[in-house]
Chain A
Amino acid sequence: MEGPPRPSPPGIGVTLPKEPGLGETLSEALQTLRANLLTLVGFVLVVLILGLALLVWAVPVVTGLFGPALSILPYDPNALNPNASYLPPGPHHWFGTDEDGRDLFARVLTALPLDMGIAVVIVGAAVMIGGGLGLVSGFWETSRTARVVSATILRVTDIFLAFPTLVLALAIAALLGRDLTSTLIALIATWWPYYVRLVRGEVLTIKHQGYIPAARALGVREPTILFRHVLRNLLEPLVVYMTLDIGTVLVTFSTIAFVAIPLPPNQPEWGSMIANYQGYLPQFLWMVLAPGAAIFVSVLSFSLLGDGMRDVLDPRTRRAFARVRANLASPEPVPGSAEA
């Protein structure tokens, strides 16, 4: 339904609801963020992290076009400096230095665009593959072929879901050649099945809402129904899940890098750094804590944002939340209650 609200046809006392415009959607999103402080914190951190990642990656590239490449990093992440090895965090080296005097702050920052980019790429690829298959298997059931295709998709998905992602990803990456590319392929190959389940489940729910048969009855074409009515309602849960998932991919990728396939030392990456520096524990704790904190803060930010969005966007939780607050806020519960 496009354009301004239509006047109801004579004789029928119905006004078609107006679709929310961009402004309303934005203000609703702002309200969502303001409703919960932690969600707002998560949002701000996510914006900061992504912005920083972009700066670290783009500044040398862009300035390189016009002259000597500049960088926002305080030190060269790979410059060895034997005079400054094993330095604890201080005013010159914010996160300290490692055994060869490399600045850990610079190394952690260099890894930021790499780890973030990998997480975003893998989640994006998983959404494309898994979401597409889920859409097909959930929506397309008009013919015999369609049903066979859907059943096949679901069976294959079940097989992938039947064992822990990390095991399969590790196996694929280890067999393919134990480098960054093989880890990427392995993660994409194992990450899509979740999205098949998620999208198919949502599509099945949406399909049986009254407005889909109504749109069909009005003569709206199937592709339009799919993209305008089904896909749009899918976006909300999908975005929430993707936000949370970026954190999970980050952890899984760095786990593979940590246990089995570390990147070469001149390519800083958080998991590989922890793997390389764990031998210096417990004396030089900061060497592990610097990349560890980077993973922790990144994942926590995405989780805070995703978790909060889920709470506020999910009408069931939102209503229950409001009721409990109304119930418990005043008057204080029955006498004899324990304040835990």
Chain B
Amino acid sequence: MGRSFSDLAWFIGARLLQLIPVLFGVILLTFLLSHVAVKNPCEAWNPHAKRNVILACQHFWGFNQPLPVQFEKYLSLLLQGNWGTDPSGSPVLPAILAGVPETLELVLASLFLMIVIGITLGVVAARYAGRWPDHLVRIFYLSGWAAPTYLAAILLSIVVAPAIGFPTENAFTYNPPPFPQPTHMSVLDAMLAGSGSGTLDALKHLALPSIALAFLNLGIITRMTRGSMLDILPLDFIKGARMKGLSEERVLFRHALRNSLITTTTVLGFTASGLLAGTIVVEEVFAWPGIGRYSFNAILGYNFAGTIGVVVVFAIAVVVANLLADIAYGFLDPRVEWR
């Protein structure tokens, strides 16, 4: 194993192969949960329906068949690309796919905030380790952790947004917006359409939800940057750079930070899970049309196919995020070999 592109391809292939048993387990687990825990889904869907309606419903969905038969049927349809339908009969897959770019935009925006703010704060905290800037940074990032996402989200949407004149719902003020949406990422669409006011509108809509989402995970980035900077700052090459007479910012941000970023990158993968969980709450509060909101409605609406579908999408997202973090790690650290 080495560092050539064929090694990288093997590495990615092997990791994606490992995804298969995990996905199977995830599907089996969610399927069992939804079909064992809920005694009679038809009654959950129509609480006041008559007996014969319930029976017809059970027959229609095949709930009266043995569980293994139901699972086999579900799985074979899934492998053919049919992810099933929600209780009202509309297919699940298009609805989930429609939410993916919207959620991706939200997550990327808050990832951007997390990285920029988190790394800066981490560098400052490490530079002044044990003194008041360090303490302030620690209080700040621990508050991000301590303030539940839903609290930050409702305070931002109900109290802060009206005060500063920011919109609180959806990705655009006009729905649908007056230009085509090829990517379904609001800011990107507006920029592609060359609409300045549209871009500003989209950014304003994106700002508060992405802040609410970023606040929670800011701490991890800050902590890791601070920790790895503390490891690197006492090393000789930093002293050397100082002795050369380089400015302190240059020493910190060019020499030290570049090396400490290697550690920070790895934790970015871990934050994926937390960010996705956060989207459920943030999208619900800000009426953001992504998968977080879809999964919330699917779970609470006894939409089994939808629930399994979003869980599968989330599992893939978490694994891919960790894979991307590993690849980035490999590119940043020349000693790493793909295996």
Contact = CB atoms under 8 A, between A and B. Distances in A.
B300 A260 contact: yes
Contact of B154 (A163, A288, A316, A336): A288
Interface in A232-258: 247, 251, 254-255, 258
A317 B227 contact: yes
B145 A278 contact: no
A333 B138 contact: no
A168 interface: yes
Interface in A286-340: 288, 292, 295-300, 303-304, 307, 316-317, 320-321, 323-325, 327-328, 333-334, 336-338, 340
A255 B148 contact: yes
Given A167-B280, A171-B30, A327 B155 contact: no
Contacts of A259: 150, 280-281, 284, 296
Report the contact-size class of chain B (Cβ under 8 Å from the partner).
Answer: 35 or more
Contacts of A164: 273-274, 276-277, 280, 314, 318
For B129, B151, B274, B284, the residue with the greatest tally of chain A CB atoms inside 10 Å of its CB is B151
Nearest to A320: B230
A303 B231 contact: no
B159 A162 contact: no
A316 B230 CA distance: 10
B33 A337 contact: no
For A167, A281, A320, the residue with the greatest tally of chain B CB atoms inside 10 Å of its CB is A167
A317 B146 CA distance: 23
Contacts of B159: 281-282, 285
A175 interface: yes
Interface string A260-281: 1000000000010010001001
B113 interface: no
Contacts of B126: 324
Interface residues of A, number: 60
Interface of B: 21-23, 25-26, 29-30, 33-34, 37-38, 124, 126-130, 133, 135, 138-139, 142-143, 145-151, 154-155, 158-159, 162, 223, 227, 230-231, 233-234, 242-243, 245-249, 273-274, 276-277, 280-281, 284, 295-296, 299-300, 302, 307, 310-311, 314-315, 318-319
Q: What 3 pairs between A and B have smallest CB-CB spacing?
A: A337-B248, A159-B25, A164-B277
26 contacts: A162-B318, A164-B274, A164-B318, A166-B280, A167-B277, A167-B310, A170-B296, A170-B299, A171-B307, A175-B37, A175-B302, A247-B145, A259-B284, A271-B148, A278-B154, A281-B154, A292-B148, A295-B146, A295-B151, A296-B143, A300-B146, A304-B142, A307-B142, A320-B231, A324-B126, A337-B248
